[in-house]
Amino acid sequence: MSKRANGEGSITFYSSRNCYRGQLTIGIDEKGKAKRKSFYGKTKKEVKEKMDNYKLLNPIGAAAINEYTVATWFNYWMWNIKKRDIKPTTFARYESVYRTHIEGSEIANIPLYKLKLNNIQAYYNKLLDSGTPIATIKQINSKLKTCLDSAEKNNYIEKNYCKLVEIPTDTKDKKIEVFSMDQQKQFAEAVKGHKLELLFLTALCTGLRIGEISGLKWSDIDFDNHTLTVNRTVERVALFDKDGKRHYETIEQTPKTSNGFRTVPIVSYIFNSLLEHKVQQDAIKREIPNFNEYDLVFCDKKGYYLNPNSIGGAFHRIQNKMNIPKDEHIKFHGLRKTFATRLFEKGVPPKTVQTLLGHSDIEITLNIYTQVMENKKVEAINELESIF
Say whether both 93 and 233 belong to one domain.
no
Q: What is the pLDDT of residue 7?
A: 45
How far apart CA 224 and CA 229 sit, in angstroms, is: 13
What is the band of 28 on the pLDDT scale with cuts at 50, 70, 90?
A: low
DSSP 3-state assignment of 35?
A: strand
What's the mean pLDDT in 196-211?
97
How far apart CA 245 and CA 248 sit, in angstroms, is: 10
Strands 221-222 and 227-230: antiparallel
Query: How far does CA 61 lie from the centroid of its chain?
Result: 31
What's the mean pLDDT in 376-387?
63
More confident residue, 184 or 370: 184
> Which of 263-275 are b and which e, b meaning 16 or more Cβ less than 10 Å from the residue's Cβ?
ebebeeebbebbe
Residue 88 has pLDDT above 70, yes or no: yes
**Residue 115 burial (C-beta neighbours within 10 Å; 0-12, 13-18, 19+):** buried
Q: Which of 130, 163, 196 is the last residue of a domain?
A: 163
Is the pTM higher than 0.75? no
What is the band of 265 on the pLDDT scale with cuts at 50, 70, 90?
A: very high
Say whether both 264 and 339 belong to one domain.
yes
Say whether both 246 and 364 belong to one domain.
yes
Q: What is the pLDDT of residue 211?
A: 94
What is the band of 41 on the pLDDT scale with cuts at 50, 70, 90?
A: very high
How far apart CA 314 and CA 302 sit, in angstroms, is: 19
Say whether both 355 and 372 belong to one domain.
yes
- Report percent pLDDT > 70 for the chain: 87
Say whether both 222 and 115 belong to one domain.
no
Q: What is the pLDDT of residue 289?
A: 84
Q: Which domain holds residue 32?
A: 10-61
Q: What is the pLDDT of residue 384?
A: 63
* CATH code at position 304: 1.10.443.10
Q: Which of 108, 133, 163 is the last residue of a domain?
A: 163
Would you say residue 152 lies in a domain? Answer: yes
Would you say residue 2 lies in a domain? Answer: no
pLDDT digits over 272-317, tens only?
999 999 999 999 999 988 888 899 999 998 999 998 889 999 999 9
Residue 62 has pLDDT above 60, yes or no: no
Domains of the chain: total:
3
Would you say residue 255 lies in a domain? Answer: yes
pLDDT digits over 223-246, tens only?
999 999 999 999 888 888 777 788
Would you say residue 169 lies in a domain? Answer: no
Say whether both 124 and 77 belong to one domain.
yes
* CATH code at position 157: 1.10.150.130
Report angle CA 70, 72, 73 to the nearest 5 degrees. 65
Average pLDDT across the chain, whole number:
87
- Report percent pLDDT > 90 for the chain: 60
Segment among 153-157, 265-269, 379-383 with least mean pLDDT:
379-383
More confident residue, 45 or 174: 45
pLDDT digits over 98-151, tens only?
999 999 999 999 999 899 999 999 999 999 999 999 999 999 999 999 999 998
